[in-house]
Amino acid sequence: MSSFDWERFLKRWSQEIIGAIGDAPTFLPPEVLKSGWLGYPGATEKQIAHTEARLGATLPPSYRAFLKVSNGWRQTTLFSNQLWSLKDIEWFAVRHQAWVDAFWEKSGHHSPESTNAKALAPSIPDEEYFVYGQEQDCSKIRIEYLQTALEISKRGEGAIYLLNPQIVAPDGEWEAWFFGDWLPGADRYRSFQNMMQAEYENFLELRETPAISIAPALRAESDATKDRSIDTEPASLRADHAPEPSDSESTSSEPTPSQSNTSQPVAPMPSSATMPEITVTDEWHDLGSFTIECQTSQRQGHNEQRTIVHHRETDTVEIQSNIDFAATEQWMLQQLQASTHPSPAQETVGLEITQLRVICSPQTEKPMVVDQAQPLFSDPLHSGEPFALEVSMNIIGSAQPPLAEQQLVYRAQCIAHNLSTKLDTYLGDITTRLPGGHQLAYIAQFPEARLQQPGLYRLKVWVTLQNASASPSYFKVPMLQVV
């Protein structure tokens, strides 16, 4: 994650938040609003090393990279949270042992005598704990990790950002938590960078939601029931203001209390699908759930219609070019049959989308490129401006050699979702045959398209092999701006 462009990301985030604040009352100083920058001068390697010596731990790479761009951060959303500077970060239990104990009590467990979380048997099994993204259950946290978590933000609206040194990836990244006393647990991420990207997306969605109420209960990435019955932090540790981060090297003295986050389509099933056999029991059990959206559009003097069906359990999306409930029903039955009667295990293979490129007219212009390391487009598009989307993808997995020998057929789909209007613009659905050979990297190009409505869009791209058993690939771009 060292290649992530923190400076560009933070500059855009600053501009978006300050623009959303407008003339509303804010604690931000006028000079900060005028500058358009919510950060501070970056930390030096010497300052970071000094803090790591004080903590007795090496900070994760994406957090270190962030600190070198901005040693602290004033505001991540419209209502929270201030990220600490190096001199203020501290182990969570040092300032908030009462909060840790209250959460243990709330969970129905007893707080361990030892503060060494590694010595404990995990309270949540691995198969339930190591789930990230939309499938994560935020109540499935290992409470014992709170004792050794690192506090990296001021508490705001009953929530705080934490880094978890007990879960460290091979690249050195620590697991990151958004922990709130109104959540049944925490929203967990693979890294600090992933958490900040999710917070940025959450801010954009909240900002673009009409008639939004600025309250923590509106966090988009968590649908969990909120519980405010326990006040988990002592009054002595509540502070409305935190000190400005210092540009000079911090001291080793302890700070005082007053300083204190879709869709993956599967290959179409045979059209002869029938209703899965159901065993009658005393209780009803869910086979599956679907959402169906019928849309209409006036194009070149005639009316067009389509149906979008979403199988929620598998995050599979089907886009049909008309409104035909018989065809929709048949597709739904196919999905139910596929999920209740899975095919025998086959060789592991999958598709991986590695890069998206937006190519504007004229073709001589340099395309805008995004990938996992750089997930933001550098420039906006203009309303009505023609552009083409290219998708680079690789075949991955143990079945690469046999697949490379046959002709491949893949299907690529793309939707642009307007965060303000909540409307989807269908950018294309293409099926392409590729010649056989040992090539494992391919490029799919969608036909020229236009986005007429200004605003912020989220691009969603799916690619699926049609003539081989392979897991599909999905790529989501947080934001494409149209002006």
Residue-wise pLDDT tens digits, 94-134: 999 988 888 888 766 555 544 444 445 788 999 999 999 87
Mean pLDDT, to the nearest integer, of 185-205?
89
Domains, the chain, ordered by start: 6-259 (3.40.1580.10), 262-279+288-343 (no CATH), 349-482 (2.70.50.30)
Write the pLDDT tens digit of every residue in 276-290: 443 434 455 667 788
Q: So what's the pLDDT on residue 62?
A: 95
219 compared with 350, residue with greater pLDDT? 350
Write the pLDDT tens digit of every residue in 243-283: 344 433 433 333 333 333 333 333 333 333 333 443 434 45
**111-120, 137-146, 318-327: segment of lowest average pLDDT:** 111-120
Write the pLDDT tens digit of every residue in 41-99: 999 999 999 999 999 999 999 999 999 999 999 988 766 579 999 999 999 999 999 88
- The yes-or-no verdict on residue 400 having pLDDT over 80 is no
Q: So what's the pLDDT on residue 146?
A: 93
Question: Residue 195 and residue 73: Cα distance in Å, rounded?
Answer: 14
Give this prediction's pTM: 0.56
Range list of H helices, 311-387: 325-340
Question: Residue 338 and residue 341: Cα distance in Å, rounded?
Answer: 5
Question: What are the C-alpha distances in Å from 450 to residues 10, 149, 385, 389, 394?
Answer: 28, 47, 6, 11, 27
Non-local CB neighbours of 443 within 8 Å, separated by 6+ positions: 390, 391, 392, 393
Q: Give strand pairing partners of 164.
A: 175
- The yes-or-no verdict on residue 349 having pLDDT over 70 is no
Q: So what's the pLDDT on residue 369?
A: 85
Question: Residue 45 and residue 48: Cα distance in Å, rounded?
Answer: 5
Each as own residue / partner, the long-range contacts of residues 100-106 (CB below 8 Å, 24 or more positions apart, any chain) are 100/146, 100/147, 102/181, 102/230, 102/232, 103/143, 103/146, 103/181, 103/232, 104/143, 105/230, 106/227, 106/230, 106/232
- Give the sign of the dihedral formed by CA 129, CA 133, CA 136, CA 142: positive
